[in-house]
Amino acid sequence: MTSTQDAARAAQALGRSFTVGSLAVANRIVMAPMTRQFSPDGVPGDDVAAYYARRAVGGVGLIITEGTYVNHASAGSSERVPRFHGDVQLAGWAHVAEAVHQAGGRIIPQLWHVGATRVAGAPPVPDAPPVSPSGLALDGTPTGRAMTQADLDDVVLAFAEAAADAERLGFDGIELHGAHGYLIDQFLWDSTNQRDDAYGGDIVSRTRFAAEIVAACRRVVSPGFPVFFRLSQWKSGSYDARIAESPEDLDRLLVPLVDAGVDVFHASTRRYWLPEFEDSQLNLAGWVKKLTGKATVTVGSVGLDNEFGQAFVPNGRSGVDDIDALLERIEQDEFDLVAVGRALLADPEWTTKILSGRADELVPFRTEMLGTLR
């Protein structure tokens, strides 16, 4: 293909507008959430606003912010990760949303509770213990304590309050972080959820906590305010982990979330091109869309020549790769939106360059870029 042909194909597949509820975006490209720790005391400053606005200027249709801690003492493990509660923190986020909107973009915050992955004694609340479904770390060792019903209710409320604040501040929706081995995902995964009450047991029961959070958020926002839900099979440090071994398992997991009010599923994989189950080429986002009929976001090493883990290798690089396989899949409506992470971190103009046939100008990703706010 010539660059003109590449650009025309990319523009036709990725340059289409997309609408869900009251959210309308100019194209199918999403900035994936990436934790950067550039918010001292949990406050996103002018530099953070400029960072996100730069991607909106660069053509990204929808920005999903880095994970933000909800208002629960055990929600996080860093004083430099932004928080989505507190007057000063929320004022910072209002400025971020305004900056992105002025640049022509749309933005939703990712709401987060780290659960058992919290480091005991770490800020922002050193005295808060790690909490989780069963008091187990991802490797099965005891850590912190199992959540009581009061704990569960407090966390559900914290997510709902954050959702209401997001709409009040002018954001365009929310994303609930239910992936990668964090709290919501710890309830979904049988290895970390060994409860014998209504929140544990079979795959449907393990979904109850997530569904309660979705429903609580749905109740406090406008009907058209979209709720995204990020899910994954893999966990941090457990890349082969699986919640659903079959499409039937996945369907049982998804139905309660759909019923609770999820509008869009963000299906996180490390390599978007790999099939999720045997006898089908569909990836995880493709299967979720097929089973639920809901819009989905795919993600996983888009536009790069190696996978997610390379981001954490000292002096590592990820070369620019073509997106022919991605275009083929979205042309077939396997999924609706495409989240781009490291490639957008390396090059804020990635979207514009891809859609205008300037792929030869793309900037490769280097590990040291993780330590800067560009």
Active site residues: 182
> In the structure encoding, which two tokens stand for residue 261, read together?
């009010």
Closest to 270 measured CA to CA, from 296, 244, 233: 233
Amino acid identity at 373: L
- The full length of the chain comes to 374
Q: Please say whether the beta carbons of 98 and 50 come within 8 A.
A: no
Structural contact between residues 326 and 372, judged by C-beta atoms closer than 8 angstroms: no
**Both tokens assigned to 351:** 């979207």
Angle at 146 (CA atoms; ends 141, 150), nearest 5 degrees = 165
Residue burial 9-31, b: 16+ Cβ < 10 Å; e: rest: bbeebbbeebebbebebbbbbbb
What one-letter code names the amino acid at 324?
D
Provide the strand spans (E) within 129-224.
Answer: 131-132, 145-146, 174-180
Residue 282 Cα distances to 121, 181, 247, 324, 330, angstroms: 43, 23, 11, 16, 11
Q: Residue 18: beta bridge partners?
A: 25
